[in-house]
A and B are shown apart, each in its own frame.
Chain A
Amino acid sequence: MYGWIWRHLPGPVALRVVEAIVLVAAVVALLMLVVFPWVEPLLPFNDVSVQ
């Protein structure tokens, strides 16, 4: 998977490193800003009230 991505990144090695970092940052941002906030309410330790 990672090898495949690396082989398909265009440009010389230095540029590819930059591209890879940008890709990782984008994935992390997607997780932090969209996925995790969505998943979080489904997890157990957020229920603190009695009902």
Chain B
Amino acid sequence: MSTSDEEPPAARVPATGAESSAVSAADRPPAPPPRPRGGKVRTAVRGFGEVLITLGLVLLLFVVYELYVTNWKSGRLQNEASAQLEQEWRSAPQGDRELHVDPADGQAFARMYIPTFGVDWSFTVQEGVGPDALEIGPGHYKNTEMPGQPGNVGIAGHRVGKGAPFNDLDLLNSCDPVVIETGDSFYVYRVLPMRDEVDGWADGKGRQQRCANVAPLQDKQHAYDETFGRRIVLPDRGDAVAPVPYKARNPLPKASQASLLTLTTCHPQFSDAERMIIHGVLTNQYKKSEGTGYDDLLAEIGEA
């Protein structure tokens, strides 16, 4: 190997005895003449091939990085943020757990749950949608409302890598709950009817108990004519998180705005050509009390 990596290894026949080895030596076909070495073209071609193979391996490694390593990193960051938020809430006096009106960039200020993705699905929500905030978990669009308020709470999250909190967002159906926990309250939002469910909602899915407070917004306000449970839009539709979605110029006074939650992620998966938008409407809110938590809430809203 030290002088060449291309000479075929010398043919060996297992020696079972003196006789057989003598026979095999005679029968062995003559070793092929050593191939000419050192041709510049050969070297170049082989080098080129090795470079291609190497690039392929690097690409595979990148996939591993993107799908696993970023998840480990984000998982660690998420755990830290979660522990810190927990401690913040625990240390604040009960009466003083008002939501931070203006949390700092990248600071976790709420927790979100989507029971449809499993009871253990929970992430802290950070302020801002910059890369640093989103690496920790879902991020809150800074210019949008805080949870529970009339208007629109916009939250963005990764769909691939970095914990991929919104990996399964396409699996959400109408009436599926999205719970936001703040220092003092749980806010239960439920996904709005899909576009094709709007007609006949009241006599169809709208009769289910879990859809009790969910109705097409179009019925009440024409301003919401484009707001459905799920939409796929182009990335420049910043108005998806406007107080009245898809109305860049706000047509309604705050008091008559619906309390909405809007989740955004990339679409299709592994691409940034479009965005998937999920709209939900506030259906219940519960003041937190000592000794009760998310599990009790799930039972309360019938999702346990």
Contact = CB atoms under 8 A, between A and B. Distances in A.
Interface stretch (B57-65, B77-85, B190-198): B57-65
Contact of B266 (A1, A2, A45): A45
Interface string A29-51: 00110001001110011111111
A1 B161 CA distance: 33
Nearest to A47: B272
12 contacts: A7-B3, A32-B65, A36-B65, A44-B270, A46-B272, A47-B235, A47-B272, A48-B134, A48-B158, A48-B265, A48-B266, A50-B275
A13 B21 CA distance: 29
B277 A50 contact: yes
A50 B264 contact: yes
A32 B241 contact: no
A50 B245 CA distance: 12
CB-CB nearest 10 A-B residue pairs: A44-B272, A47-B272, A49-B156, A3-B5, A49-B129, A1-B50, A45-B160, A36-B65, A48-B265, A51-B238
Given A3-B5, A6-B1, A36-B62, A46 B131 contact: yes
A24 B31 CA distance: 35
A18 B233 CA distance: 53
Interface residues of A, number: 21
Interface in A1-26: 1-3, 6-7, 13
Given A40-B66, A46-B158, A46-B272, A51 B235 contact: yes
Interface string B141-152: 100000000000
B159 A48 contact: yes
B236 interface: yes
B238 A45 contact: no
A28 B61 contact: yes
A50 B58 contact: no
Contacts of A28: 61
A1 B53 CA distance: 11
Contact of B236 (A40, A44, A48, A51): A51
A49 B141 contact: yes
A32 to B, nearest CB: 6
Given A7-B2, A40-B66, A47 B61 contact: no
B240 interface: yes
Most buried by B among A3, A13, A31, A49: A49
B65 A45 contact: no
B47 interface: yes
Contacts of B271: 44-45
Given A44-B270, A48-B166, A1 B51 contact: yes
B50 A2 contact: yes
A45 B269 CA distance: 7
